Chain A
């Protein structure tokens, strides 16, 4: 390309004449050219619902992490948290786009115009009761210790899940999972090292880390009970039963917390996840208002 051209010229060339919807992830369908045929014997509605569960966990936690932008204790840490959020956003985009190819769009199309891609319709135009994320993702970030303990728990759980999902019979889910493994591996390592440093640090950092562990632990109750959708997809070779991740998740978390000289709280009794059923705490609606407000205020805006 001639040197006087900028990247914007190429984008303009590619999308010339058509206004680009203003709030989307933009110019790119993350599944462009990917074979999105639903495998034989797999229920599309179930597969789409499953992708929303995993996608919403990533999207909502990403939004929580980005709340640290301009507020992190040091610049390097701000960049680190934003990078983890960006990886989760990428995973969410792929999963929400996969849900779109399964025609699982909830009520989003009641608000979103046809020109808005499925992944954006799902992110911006579903109501709070249509989100399927665990409460673990939506819980208020708290202080830095709580952010790192929650990131440790969430990345440990998600890594255990996607490591197994690499064997999914849906090739799209399998590929998304395989891409997520190295990303979640360094999220978990990063969070674990911070929990060690805080727990085995000053009396104040130790105190705060223990408060964080005690606050986040009850949220693990929701992580290990399969929904009916998951059970049907496990039978079809598509999904992982979250109960099969329980031992690994508890072992990793116990090891980190003990090494951090903190007390491992009693594990809460497993329960069906209210978040998976669309029942959320009061903390999710304000998060979604921030995420969705501008797009909903100006749904037809282009640039």
Chain B
């Protein structure tokens, strides 16, 4: 059917249920979209955290969006490896997070052997998404979702969320 658009373009419009300013593609959760010989659209996604409660909604949103675009057969598959990292959030995604008042993550640290313990205060830094000041402090390593920490700007005093590096 020549009226159908590219299934990848359709899948790339689907947004994250918890960070609705980001598409699944911006977030790095959308790993692959391809069409098999029989016309089935196979979409591959990866969870952010093991317990991410949004996977079912993401899956349903992808199927729904592709059905509405005219693709009758859609198969959404999970891939667990390699594990998702905040390094996969695109530059565009980072800009959208900041524009939405959420500080984007820095670079994640990777360990292959035993994992060193970190007993001091977390050394994460984040720029205030409200006033742009770099003078910010962490209030809590945990926030409304598993992927975010709560910080406060020492310059403008506004609290804000920060997507943690993992």
Which residues on A are within 8 Å of B, measured CB to CB? 1, 7, 9-11, 13-15, 26-28, 30-34, 76, 79-80, 83, 86-91, 93-94, 159-160, 163, 171-172, 174-176, 178-183, 185-186, 188-190, 192-193, 196, 248, 252, 255-256, 259
Identity of the chain B residue whose Cβ is nearest the Cβ of A7 in the assembled complex? B57
What are the residues of chain B within 8 A of A183 when measuring CB–CB? 49-50, 166
B131-166 interface code vs A (CB 8 A; 1 in, 0 out): 000000001111110100010000000000000101
Counting CB contacts under 8 A, is B8 at the interface? no
Pairs of residues from A and B, 3 with the lowest C-beta to C-beta distance, nearest first:
A33-B77, A90-B51, A90-B50
Question: Is B21 located at the chain interface by the 8 A CB criterion?
Answer: no
In whole Å, how far is A182's beta carbon from the nearest beta carbon of chain B? Answer: 4
Please judge, given known A-B contacts A7-B17, A80-B141, whether A1 and B119 are in contact too, CB under 8 Å: no
CA of A28 to CA of B55 in the docked complex: distance in angstroms? 7
Chain B residues contacting A1 (CB-CB under 8 Å) are: 14, 61, 64-65, 68
* Nearest neighbor of B68 in chain A, beta-carbon distance: A1
Chain A residue numbers with a CB within 8 Å of B49 are: 86-87, 90, 179, 183
In addition to A27-B56, A182-B166, 16 A-B residue pairs with Cβ atoms within 8 Å of each other are A7-B60, A10-B60, A15-B60, A33-B44, A33-B75, A33-B76, A33-B79, A178-B81, A179-B47, A179-B50, A179-B83, A179-B84, A186-B141, A186-B164, A248-B114, A259-B119
The residue among B50, B108, B115 with the most chain A CB atoms within 10 A of its own CB is B50
Within 8 A of A (CB), among B26-79: 44, 47, 49-53, 55-57, 59-61, 63-65, 67-68, 75-79
* CB < 8 Å neighbour of B78 from A27, A33, A76, A83: A33
Docked Cα-Cα span, A91 to B150, in Å, equals: 24
Query: Given contacts A76-B139, A83-B146, is CB(A93)–CB(B117) below 8 Å?
Result: no
In the assembled complex, the CB of B85 is this many whole angstroms from the nearest CB of chain A, namely 8
When the two chains form their complex, are residues A86 and B146 in contact, meaning their CB atoms are under 8 A apart?
yes
- Are B51 and A89 touching (Cβ within 8 A)? yes
User: Which partner residue on chain B sits nearest A15 by CB separation?
Assistant: B60
Contact of A176 (CB < 8 Å), options: B50, B63, B144 = B50
- Given A34-B78, A176-B50, A248-B114, A10 and B61 touching (CB < 8 A)? yes
B143 neighbours in A (Cβ, 8 Å): 79
Which of B44, B50, B117, B166 meets A91, CB within 8 Å? B50
CB neighbours (8 Å) of A91 from chain B are 50-51
When the two chains form their complex, are residues B60 and A11 in contact, meaning their CB atoms are under 8 A apart?
A: yes
For the complex, would chain A's binding face be called helix, strand, loop or mixed by DSSP majority?
helix
Whether B50 contacts A94 by the Cβ 8 Å rule is yes
B63 / chain A contacts, CB cutoff of 8 Å:
10, 13-14
**Which B residues lie within 8 Å of A79 (CB)?**
140, 142-144
Tell me, in angstroms, the Cα distance from A88 to B146 when the chains sit together.
12
Q: With A28-B59, A76-B142 given, is the CB distance from A88 to B51 under 8 Å?
A: yes
Greatest chain A CB density within 10 A among B14, B61, B164 is at B61
Chain B residues whose C-beta falls within 8 Å of the C-beta of A175 in the assembled complex: 80-81, 83
Q: Report how far A27 CA is from B49 CA in the complex, Å.
A: 17
- Give the most central of A33, A178, A183, A190: most B CB within 10 Å: A33
**CA distance in complex: A172, B81 (Å):** 9
Q: Is B118 an interface residue (CB 8 A)?
A: yes
Task: Given the known inter-chain contacts A79-B144, A190-B141, please indicate yes or no for A255 contacting B117, CB distance below 8 A.
Answer: yes
Checking A182, A192, A252 against B83 with a beta-carbon cut-off of 8 angstroms, the contacting residue is: A182
Q: Provide a sorted-by-A list of 7 A–B residue pairs whose CB atoms are within 8 angstroms.
A: A7-B61, A10-B61, A34-B78, A90-B52, A180-B50, A185-B111, A189-B118
Chain B residues in 8 Å Cβ range of A196: 119
Are B146 and A87 in touch, CB under 8 angstroms?
Answer: yes
Give the residue name and chain of the B residue nearest to A186 (CB): B141
Question: Nearest B residue to A14 by beta-carbon distance?
Answer: B60
B50:A163 contact, CB within 8 angstroms? no
In angstroms, Cα B81 to Cα A174, docked, is: 8
Contact A76/B150 with A188-B117, A252-B117 known, Cβ cut-off 8 Å: yes
Distance between Cα atoms of A255 and B115 in the complex (Å): 14
Which residues of B sit under 8 angstroms from A192, Cβ to Cβ?
Answer: 117, 119
Q: Which residues of chain B are near A15, meaning CB under 8 Å?
A: 60
What's the Cα separation between A202 and B107 when bound, in Å? Answer: 37
